[in-house]
Structure 1
Amino acid sequence: MTSRRTAEGGLIDRSRPLQFSFDGKSYQGFKGDTLVSALLANGVRVMGRSFKYHRPRGPWGAWIEDPNAVFNVTLDGAELPNCLGAATMLETGMEARSVNAFPSARFDLKGGLDLLHRWLGAGFYYKTFIWPDWHLFEPMIRRMAGLGELNTDLIDGYASDQLHDHCEVLIVGGGAAGLAVARAAAEAGQDVVLVDDHDVAGGRLYQLDSVEGQTPRDWVDDQLAAIEAAGGRVMTATTAFGVFDHRLVGLAQQGAFGTAPRLWRIRADRIVLASGAIDRPITFADNDRPGVMSLDAACEWLARYGVLAGRDIAVLSNNSFAAPAVRMLARAGANVTEIDPTDGAIRALGGKRLKGVEVAGKRHPADTVLVSGGMTPLVHLWRHAGGKLDWCEQRQAFLPGATPEGMAAIGAANGSFDLDHALAEARAVARHEPRPDGTGTYRLTPLWPKPGSKGRQWIDFQHDVTLKDIELAARENYVSVEHLKRYTTLGMAPDQGKTSNMAGLAAMAAIQGRAIPEVGTTTFRPPFVPQPIALYSGPHAGQLYHPLKRLTLEAQHRAANAALGEYGGWLRPGWYGSGDPKFHIRDEVVTARKVAGILDASPLGKIEVIGPDAERFVDFIYYNTVSTLKPGQIRYGFMLTERGHIMDDGVIARLDRNRFLISCSSSHTDHVRAHLETWRQDGNDPDRIFIHDLTQAWSTVTVTGPKARDIVAALDIPLDLSAGAFPHMTLHYSSFDGTPVRIARVSFTGDLSYEISIRSSRAADLWQALAAAGEKLGACPVGIEALSVLRAEKGYILIGKDTEGETMPHDLGFGIPRQKKRAAFVGDRSLHMEGANRDDRKQLVGFSVEPGAPALPVGAHLVGEGERPRSQGYVTTSHDSTTLGHPIALGLLERGADRIGERVTAWHQGQRFTATICAPCFFDAEGERLHA
């Protein structure tokens, strides 16, 4: 095996050798190599097998455009499937193995499939396996499908960090044009971010002798230093994989091998596409042989990695870029022969080891054939953004056409292949000046696949699509490019058509006798290069799937010895104290009923609805009528689904004529916000209604109990707290220690209550002041568990706990709006459907248990009499009430409202319990304490 490494040159660090293996054999490369460049340096040509026929494949391209060298790579126990070898940076200890090959790429047992190629053409599986039954063949075909092997152990811990950012100018591509525009924009004072998918920026510049009088490396270093000195940011090893709505760009930033890329979502005021162009193949007989490579790729391997693609090289090119490439290869010691590919039929000679090329009947011995069929601009991101493409006859390529808003293409991505022209264009775009005229010196002779040519001519190297397959598709009327793609799998390889699509489109155009732009292109979709699924899922797994929301007052609760737990997605105090929770909860209930309790009610939703149409909107959203409220008044109400089922309950306050405050359930805030936004945009003018979720901005401390007024009065709040001036279900603004506060008289306990909301930065001061005032009177902090008992004693429900997916307002005793509300509202028609009026609907009732008897288990079924009693409902809430001296429960029971006073049996896990059906309100049914 012959070494192809040059004695000097390249960007690699020759002082840092790296050991690695491929298909079980050990090799050495250097820091800065890719897997492909290191293997080429060691004389390895066969690096993979094609998907269908298992033909030997060598690398075609030097970066993401290569479809052939695809590896499973293991390093330090981490194994990643389907790594693009030409874009995977080498690390010491890497173990690479070819995909779709056994036992190795050089010798593959399935290579014999190529002998059956006459019967395995495009669409053979549609025709062959239909008889006698597709399902007989399906398991075998599925086992053969796909590339690589996924190690499921990788899934654990393989998660992507996700970041959000903004900039004025985002430049994609760190070649000559990208660096020039980034420097000019940064020095003009703009916030610039430059991204490049290589570890070392510079694009193809390293193939040149000089750039503006400097060596390529010095010129690149100067540009990077100037960009950063002007405040710009440079992100290397970062791929812009997609452009989405409103100039949102997805970036995948590579980290250490075995870790998921970091996802950046950057929204830019302006995007400059400097993504460059790639060399395209020339189609001829047996052009898939290992050793047939891209001319541009060979120059990249030499310039970046110090690797000579071959010693005896034949160059076939139809464009003006061939001359400097030939000089570069010759200076490196290669024996180069230039051959005109337009002279006649072409055929590669040899098998796994290339022996040369035959052109017009003349044989040219060579160990490497380098081809260049013309440059194809990388316009994928342009199309993602909605940009159009124009066909350029001179360049024989699609170029950016109609410009998407806030986006520009420059350099090779725009067809400006000459360096001087690209630099001038980039600097003009940065300064918002007119672009220079002209197209540069690049010239080429059109050279596309010729239908009817002899031999097997390969269009898609990885998926084994030949020119004959495209001709077959045309005969079978798959002439649309989208149908052609799906019927033949053209362009569906890991390179996603970067090397095959243009040749495929040209072949179909020639078959139909049409021009290439008439045939069109396939749809460009993200991602620009394959990305691991973990990039999109990010950290949303395990504990972070639905992360806990945290209270501003968490430190104060911990200092008070609170037992914190998850309640409705929030980390909240369950009770206070380190002993038996049962006794702490009981003491909190007793104190709240006799004196007062202080609780953190910050998670209650605080969503404002504002605008000229706000009144009409909230009337439509709520089951109750809201428009009759006056500023400062509060009303309890329900939100329904379109099927009339209760989605959430809570209170709504009118702050002024066009402003309402919705206080929804703590666990439903996100859902309610989405519900409001959905209806705001459906049948309404969104410019006349605005939804603002201020839940996190305000913290709320509730004081509840007979002494609540005295505790709040101790704060010296300038507000009359008397029942006459401040009645139940009203709201006032005031101030605490110079900070505005909003105080609402609403209760979830059945006792006199004040909800005091303050900006979160002052919440700790408010809590400490109330705690100190309450301690003097014998009050205590109250956790969620005690609050649950207090609310159950009053018969207050929790949506989702005391209701089910079919519960309607009249099942809870709220039937008047259904009969009297004339204005349309969400779910109104459903409340009058046959199912809504059944006489056996489950209704909310209470259950009173005799003193000394055990409490009813939550979830216990309420059953009738007989040998085989059926379930008529179930218990939803159950507590042993210290206030009442006996257990109580709430539940849903068929015809429950008509059965108050009956005895009922509850069955749970083989045990039977009895209780008396009663009204759901057990405490202060007259409401005297509530209105005190």
Structure 2
Amino acid sequence: MTTGHFRTPSGGRIDRSRPLRFSFDGRSYSGFEGDTVASALLANGVHLVGRSFKYHRPRGIMGAGPDEPNALIGVRRDQGRYTPNLLATQTELYDGLDAVSQNRHPSLEKDRMAVNDRFSRFIPAGFYYKTFMWPRKAWDRLFEPRIRAAAGLGIAPSESDPDSYAQRYAHCDVLVIGAGPAGLTAAMEAAKSGAQIILCDDRAAMGGSLLAANQVTIDGAPAARWLAGMLDSLAGMANVTLLPRTSAFGYYPHNWIGLAQKLTDHLADAAPGQPRERLWQVRAKQVVIAAGAIERPLVFPDNDRPGIMLADAARTYLQQYGVEVGRKVVIVAAHDNGYRTAHELKDAGIDIAAIADIRGDSPVAARARQAGLRVLTNAAIDGTTGKLRVASITLTSGGKRETFACDAVLMAGGFTPSVHLFSQSRGKLMWNEDLQAYLPDQSAEAERSAGACRGHFALDEALADGAEAGRSAAEAAGYPFRPAIIPLACAVAHPVGGGGHIGAAPTSDPSRPKAFVDWQNDVTAADILLAAREGFLSIEHVKRYTTTGMATDQGKLSNINALGIVAEATGRTIPEVGLTTFRAPYTPISFGTLAGRARRDLLDPARITAINDWAIEQGAVFEDVGNWKRAHFFPKNGEDLHASVARECLAVRESVGIFDASTLGKIEIVGPDAAEFMNRFYVNAWTKLGVGKCRYGVLLREDGFVLDDGVVGRLAPDRFHVTTTTSGAARVLGMMEDYLQTEWSDLDVWLTSTTEQWSVIAVQGPKAREVIEPLVQGLDLSPDAFPHMSIADARICGVPMRLMRVSFTGELGFEVNVPSGYGAMVWQAIWERGQAHDMVAYGTETMHVLRAEKGFIIIGQETDGTVTPDDAGLAWAIGKAKPDFVGKRSLARPAMTDPDRKQLVGLLTRDPRIVLEEGAQIVAPAAEDRSIGHVTSAYHSSVLGKSIALAMVRAGRARLGERLEVPMPGGSIAVDVVAPVFFDPKGDRVNV
């Protein structure tokens, strides 16, 4: 097992008394409690962790937090769990951790795909748009499979995720995002007011930059001591919730924030059943964003070799983890933070070969020289060498070109405020010329930014800014508390001034092309210049053409430098170039976190009726209808679908059948204006519908096309029982609510969904009355007393019932509505009564055949969103004297009355054994190359002894008696156009 030979003898926030073992690509290493995978690898001298996306160049650890573009790893655990694309810089070490590198074939050291780098001149930005578009067949068969095999960040797991995930909704007065200096003081000041506070931070330990502030004092105490006291105080306050390991990944409207909290990833053995992660959906009265800032890299030739890192990351690894990122280091700087890093590394015994400052001479450079550091000013960076790790860097200063041997190069290009979340909140950014950065300006939500994320980089400024933000947030949330804020005195051993550089760094060797701007997507400065030359002036277009700032990085390191290069190339300022959109998530989160418990059986929860268990016992075959489980057919003695349906259809026509219609949508419409509401909503007239009567209702969208249908019964002058299709229940209720609240707020009406409250048992067939009549109390079921299309409340089997005499089969029919709790009992009673009449249970397929024999449409089958009532043969349902209803004006458009529109007709095949395919196109014999319609429903009718079909055909009603053809791969099928009612066209059977 390799030991950590780049670990300092002491220091850091790791627990050296608790060593941990882990592996990376099969090799064993050691680390300590408190390490991340990245810090432990660096402690073992491992910088090479991956290969780049496009060129497969060696890539090393570059940052120390969520800004890391290269160190994406996969982690394998027991139970077949494999998680790709985890940031090594944020993956906490535990004993036995098994990590693997990604995007290499077959290994990091010997990647066959590295040949792409040799042909880089032939695959510049946008090459795929130009190269693989022709011929089309070559793309499908040759290019696409190979590109897909080579591309990608990690391998998607092949096994199902065995972990569980939790979700929680929370409300608070003030949500503070980020527990660095500004976030801590913001949380404390807000908490003093008594407001409910949530403080979240994506690290395991809260403190932000203070975790690596060993040479800083606050109010005379070491920063570590002040931090510990602050966290202890916050943890002891009942109104404060601390959420470490929690990333704020998305800012959504009305201060709705998404937080992803890691619960067990840092544990070697989590307790059984303990959730792996938790999704917090937080609604906050006020938000304080204290997201800090990201150090900006420098763009120079060959700046992507392993061992080339951000200077502040090197400081973090040294001070927080006790890790030396190299033994001989060169620092390239355009910001004073490079000098701070140099001093701290030198104090730890690390050899600083040189500081190359691309700026001119300065007081910080003079102090560095006095400390014995070699400083080159006005430096140009000409390139680096090294195969799997940087070995040297070539610099030019004062006309002299020198090459420095080194094993690490640290970049200090300045700091970029982290404005991702503010931008997601739809806040407006402004460009600050002094800081050379975008800062939050106009807020769109009840939030404020504090600290480094709004340009206050100095520690004392950040602490004071956070305190003021916390106090003002609490006051805005309704907790006024105005004690004097006592400024905290901060002492920093090596103060950091401003400055920084944007765009490509100076070089005396511009011929070397690969100066990387986006490490994750292999985008170079040359790629961005090419995009500008080819006319992509919008930064959003440059982003998509070159892919800079995309993928999991979301431009954290690349955006500002890309803006600078585009600005220089196009002769514009950075504000004129603009800024790309920051999209959620800010950092990657797992699909499991978003799904929570909505997976496996809970992914798409099944809805079952009260009769479901009975149907299972009878051997029913089920189908999914939306979320509902419905009996498709009831096979007997090994019957297949067709045999079972043929038997069920004959039984219903000859005797009686029972059908579970409980899934139909049911809505109760109640109020003095209920009839007026129905009049305005449906095409039919409702004012004169008598109490105890039913009517078939048709509902249109505003564009005049059929949306839904169903039978409506009037229970009282101010009460209607409305049925909808199974799939349309929520849609229709939502539309009703919309109109009632926004268009017809003058109407006094209440809407209540009763779909789950009623079990609906359809008893259909010539013997239907004989079956249910003995079970009914308080209602005369004779034809004269209770005719077709009647509704009444009564009792059945001693329980309340709402009975409708309606039929979707064309036979004598009753729909028994009983409270769902009684559904199974009443069904069983009807079933037992029906056995004397050879009753059958039938499913949805038989229901479809029976209704097709009668020419009854099904919404979504005969209609496709472009069908009017007249097209479907329902013009008779429209109230002719009605002044208005939803969709009425649209029906008057010329296109809606075109005689060539598709209309509902019936089709009979010349060969009665042939059943047409639903969706098949229909042509006229004289114009076989032009479709004039399509088959919507097709079945074999055991009752009629032949196949039947419904179809939508152009000018269909004018074509009755014509012969058309349905072209199929095996040859055209001849069909005759007939009326859509195949059985009992006069409707005598429904009125017996």
TM-score category, normalised to shorter length: 0.7 to 0.9
2:13 corresponding residue in structure 1: 10
1:579-620 deviation line (CA, Å, top 9, x unaligned): 667999899889988997665422001256799999788667
Deviation of 1:387 (Å): 0.6
Which of the residues 444, 450, 457 maps onto 2:497?
444
Which of the residues 293, 297, 307 maps onto 2:309?
293
Distance 1:384 1:100 in 2: 34
* Residue aligned with 2:326, SS: coil
Which of the residues 310, 321, 328 maps onto 1:305?
321
Distance 2:688 2:840 in 1: 36
1:738-769 deviation line (CA, Å, top 9, x unaligned): 999755443335566554556xxx52235425
CA contact (8 A) 2:776 2:794 kept: no
2:365 corresponding residue in structure 1: none
1:104 corresponding residue in structure 2: 108
2:608 corresponding residue in structure 1: 550
Distance 2:657 2:131 in 1: 75
Structure 1 residues 44 and 904: alpha-carbon distance in aligned structure 2, compared to 1, 3 A threshold: closer
Distance 2:517 2:718 in 1: 65
1:69-114 deviation line (CA, Å, top 9, x unaligned): 3456666666666554433445636353353677535888847947
CA contact (8 A) 1:640 1:826 kept: no
Structure 1 residues 713 and 198: alpha-carbon distance in aligned structure 2, compared to 1, 3 A threshold: farther
Deviation of 1:345 (Å): 2.4
Distance 2:604 2:196 in 1: 34
Q: Does 1:526 align with 2:526?
A: no
Aligned AA for 1:69? A
Which of the residues 18, 23, 26 maps onto 1:20?
23
Give aligned-pair identity as a percent.
Answer: 30
Structure 1 residues 224 and 556: alpha-carbon distance in aligned structure 2, compared to 1, 3 A threshold: farther
Unaligned runs of 5+ in 2: 269-273, 362-376
Q: Does 1:699 align with 2:704?
A: no
Q: Does 1:266 align with 2:281?
A: yes
* Residue aligned with 1:635, SS: strand
Deviation of 1:196 (Å): 3.6
Structure 1 residues 220 and 597: alpha-carbon distance in aligned structure 2, compared to 1, 3 A threshold: farther
Structure 1 residues 848 and 653: alpha-carbon distance in aligned structure 2, compared to 1, 3 A threshold: farther
1:197 corresponding residue in structure 2: 202
Distance 1:607 1:366 in 2: 76
Matches within 5 A, 1:574-585: none
2:370 corresponding residue in structure 1: none
Which of the residues 913, 926, 938 maps onto 1:876?
938
Matches within 5 A, 1:563-642: 563=620, 565-566=622-623, 568-569=625-626, 570-573=628-631, 599-607=659-667, 622=682, 624-625=684-685, 629=689, 633-639=693-699
Structure 1 residues 100 and 859: alpha-carbon distance in aligned structure 2, compared to 1, 3 A threshold: closer
The range that moved more, 73-82 or 586-595, is 586-595
* Residue aligned with 2:622, SS: strand
Distance 2:789 2:824 in 1: 23
Structure 1 residues 79 and 351: alpha-carbon distance in aligned structure 2, compared to 1, 3 A threshold: farther
Aligned AA for 2:508? K
CA contact (8 A) 1:49 1:99 kept: yes
1:531-589 deviation line (CA, Å, top 9, x unaligned): 6788879999998886643225535655x646351253422345779866799989988
2:373 corresponding residue in structure 1: none
Q: Does 1:748 align with 2:748?
A: no
Q: Does 1:406 align with 2:446?
A: yes
CA contact (8 A) 1:167 1:193 kept: no
Deviation of 1:383 (Å): 0.9
Deviation of 1:380 (Å): 0.9
Aligned AA for 1:768? M
Q: Does 1:154 align with 2:187?
A: no
Aligned AA for 2:202? D
* Residue aligned with 1:298, SS: helix
Structure 1 residues 458 and 714: alpha-carbon distance in aligned structure 2, compared to 1, 3 A threshold: closer
The range that moved more, 668-677 or 647-656, is 668-677
* Residue aligned with 1:44, SS: coil
1:180-204 deviation line (CA, Å, top 9, x unaligned): 6567778877676554433444433
Distance 2:805 2:597 in 1: 41
Q: Does 1:836 align with 2:852?
A: no
1:277 corresponding residue in structure 2: 293
CA contact (8 A) 1:72 1:148 kept: no
Distance 1:506 1:554 in 2: 66
* Residue aligned with 1:3, SS: coil
Deviation of 1:333 (Å): 4.4
1:382-408 deviation line (CA, Å, top 9, x unaligned): 111211113345544322211122333
Matches within 5 A, 1:346-357: 346-347=379-380, 351-352=385-386, 353-355=390-392
The range that moved more, 341-350 or 353-362, is 353-362
Structure 1 residues 644 and 428: alpha-carbon distance in aligned structure 2, compared to 1, 3 A threshold: closer
Distance 1:420 1:912 in 2: 82
Structure 1 residues 381 and 711: alpha-carbon distance in aligned structure 2, compared to 1, 3 A threshold: same
TM-score of the superposition, structure 1-length normalised? 0.75
1:243 corresponding residue in structure 2: 251
1:671-694 deviation line (CA, Å, top 9, x unaligned): 65688799999xx74867999682
Matches within 5 A, 1:315-354: 329=345, 332-334=348-350, 339=355, 341=357, 342=359, 343=361, 344-347=377-380, 351-352=385-386, 353-354=390-391
Structure 1 residues 131 and 636: alpha-carbon distance in aligned structure 2, compared to 1, 3 A threshold: closer
The range that moved more, 49-58 or 905-914, is 905-914
Aligned AA for 2:213? L
Deviation of 1:242 (Å): 2.9
Aligned AA for 1:834? P
Distance 2:534 2:907 in 1: 70
1:39-96 deviation line (CA, Å, top 9, x unaligned): 2111123444556666654322112212233456666666666554433445636353
CA contact (8 A) 2:527 2:546 kept: yes
CA contact (8 A) 2:218 2:226 kept: yes
CA contact (8 A) 1:274 1:409 kept: yes
The range that moved more, 422-431 or 473-482, is 473-482
Structure 1 residues 757 and 320: alpha-carbon distance in aligned structure 2, compared to 1, 3 A threshold: farther
Aligned AA for 1:390? M
1:435-468 deviation line (CA, Å, top 9, x unaligned): 9799998863323248765345654445565667
CA contact (8 A) 2:53 2:153 kept: no
* Residue aligned with 1:701, SS: strand
Structure 1 residues 746 and 314: alpha-carbon distance in aligned structure 2, compared to 1, 3 A threshold: same
Aligned AA for 2:662? S
1:830-872 deviation line (CA, Å, top 9, x unaligned): 55213238xxx662489999xxxx99857599999x9xx9999
RMSD of aligned alpha carbons: 6.2
Structure 1 residues 371 and 164: alpha-carbon distance in aligned structure 2, compared to 1, 3 A threshold: same
Deviation of 1:821 (Å): 7.1
Q: Does 1:788 align with 2:856?
A: no
Matches within 5 A, 1:369-768: 369-393=409-433, 395-417=435-457, 418=459, 420-421=463-464, 423-425=466-468, 427-432=470-475, 444-449=497-502, 453-455=507-509, 458-462=516-520, 480-486=538-544, 489-492=547-550, 494-509=552-567, 516-530=574-588, 548-555=606-613, 561=618, 563=620, 565-566=622-623, 568-569=625-626, 570-573=628-631, 599-607=659-667, 622=682, 624-625=684-685, 629=689, 633-639=693-699, 648-653=708-713, 662-669=722-729, 685=743, 694=753, 696-702=755-761, 704=763, 728-731=788-791, 744-750=804-810, 755=815, 757=817, 763-765=820-822, 767-768=824-825
Aligned AA for 1:351? T
Structure 1 residues 843 and 416: alpha-carbon distance in aligned structure 2, compared to 1, 3 A threshold: same
